[in-house]
Structure 1
Amino acid sequence: MITSDSDLPPRLGSLTFHGPLSEARATRLIERLAATGPADVLDIGCGWGELLLRVLEVAPAAKGAGIDINAEDLARGRALAEARGLADRVEFVEESALGTDRGPVDAILCLGSSQALCDPEQPHDPAAALRELRRLLRPGGRVVLGEGFWQRTPTDEELAGMWPGAATGDHYLLGDLVDLAIEAGFRPAWIETASADEWEEFESGYRYDTEVWLAAHPDHPLAAETRERVDRQRATWLNGYRQVLGIAYLTLVAVA
């Protein structure tokens, strides 16, 4: 059976940011970053680059580059840039961030994307990602890093409910994560973490459009596959990492 794009389940249309980030927190992050007057901003694993575009709106002298490997998200970012009159100050590029030569820059956004800086054949290594971020920044430059951390050490039962192969070594406790940033050549200018409300808005928004689509198309050829995927995603949150996995937003300053 041939289906048109309009027949397919929508993807992430109800999300402003691809992560547990409120409008209020985003505004504060942007204001602190833009206050330094960056000339160039790099967004690693940018998705559709909503935060990057907002930085450029309040830092009119800055130019930006967003890199990602998801062509659909990048196309959404280009359309948003065009609609906001920012197309001449930003580029969205489909490329890997591993070993990128797009530095040094004044500011970096890396929200939930530090794995893009690590060897995909090895376990995720936040320490290696932090060293890469330091390499890509000029002295005194800033990075806003969104990184997962354990709010407490998860139990075996909780780990079993998370993603396949989940282990305590997948993330650090917050204090250990900040220590890694300092060891990599940063000072932690601001430390904050996503709230329960931000998590719930993100998790529900992540699936909202698809859940509504499933309710309206229970017999669609793709319904069974989509339902299984969404039910599995929801279960890993509710039965696994909810109130265990946190997201830290660290504003880090590169030591001269």
Structure 2
Amino acid sequence: MDLPRIFTIRESHHRIHNPMTAHKFAVLGEALRLAPGSRMLDLASGSGEMLCTWARDHGITGTGVDISTVFTEQARARAAELGVSDSVEFVHGDAVGHVADRPVDIAACIGATWIGNGVAGTVELLDRSLRPGGLMLIGEPYWRRTPPDEQTARDSHATAISDFAPLPELIDTFQQLGYDVVEMVLADQDSWDRYAAAQWLSMRRWLDRNPHDELAPRVREELTTEPARYAASTREYLGWGVFALMKR
């Protein structure tokens, strides 16, 4: 049980595996008015940057669950680096169907709503771990601009235009599910650049070290085509944000 190697090749030097930045997560943590001692569950927690920095800055505790062995080890190392290993733990496991052993104050899935087969299923899954009155955090793409055709949508990492909605429609989806949207912090093009462009140097360094690896042709193809594709499509059309929800 693990992520395919291509993901860890692309993002081996990422602390954040989505188009948020450390500054944006800090803004979100402040905006949520996190109380010391609050307990958090972070499903698909990646390298643990959000949970670790919020433990350091706001005194929260919590558990992160992620399917990647590489990212889970990076999360544990980051917790040790920031001196919060006694406050947070990181579990290598499948976030699909994971429910906390007791209700948490904050339940999050940042950028991996595939664990619930979409937004509605992920909201339902997180709700099973959340105490009444708790905060739910969902990280999800939306269309900043609707692509002009299906090929542009595919070039923006969708399978079809219908995969994502414009921002007002995404917010309406949360409301239709019975939740108030109480905060949001959105990625911008600069933070998209830091997420996407940082992959290119990681891929090039990996290729230089591993020219005969079985994945080398795929990595070479991505490195050759990805920068122009990203600049023309993802950067222009795809938005991304973290939305804080409270059940009505």
TM-score relative to the length of structure 1: 0.82
Separation in 2, partners of 1:198, 1:182: 27
Separation in 2, partners of 1:185, 1:158: 33
Separation in 2, partners of 1:186, 1:134: 11
Q: For residue 230 of structure 2, what is the aligned residue in structure 1?
A: 237
**Residue 149 (structure 1) aligned with residue 142 (structure 2):** yes
- Picking from 63, 75, 78, the partner of 2:76 is 78
CA-CA distance at 1:177 after TM superposition: 1.1
CA contact (8 A) 1:161 1:235 kept: no
- Picking from 164, 168, 180, the partner of 2:161 is 168
CA contact (8 A) 1:78 1:92 kept: yes
Separation in 1, partners of 2:174, 2:154: 29
SS at match of 1:146: strand
CA-CA distance at 1:224 after TM superposition: 3.1
Aligned residues: 237
Q: For residue 127 of structure 1, what is the aligned residue in structure 2?
A: 120
CA contact (8 A) 1:65 1:90 kept: yes
Separation in 2, partners of 1:225, 1:49: 28
TM-score relative to the length of structure 2: 0.84
SS at match of 2:133: strand
In the alignment, structure 1 segments of 5+ residues that lack a partner are: 1-8, 119-124
SS at match of 2:203: helix
Larger Rg: 1
Separation in 2, partners of 1:130, 1:152: 25
CA contact (8 A) 2:42 2:109 kept: yes
Q: For residue 221 of structure 1, what is the aligned residue in structure 2?
A: 212
C-alpha RMSD over aligned residues: 2.4
CA-CA distance at 1:88 after TM superposition: 2.1
Q: Deviations over 1:44-68 (max 9, x none)?
A: 10011111001111232x3210011
CA contact (8 A) 2:20 2:187 kept: yes
Q: Given residue 211 of structure 1, which amino acid in structure 2 is its aligned partner?
A: R
Q: Given residue 211 of structure 2, which amino acid in structure 1 is its aligned partner?
A: H
CA contact (8 A) 1:21 1:202 kept: yes
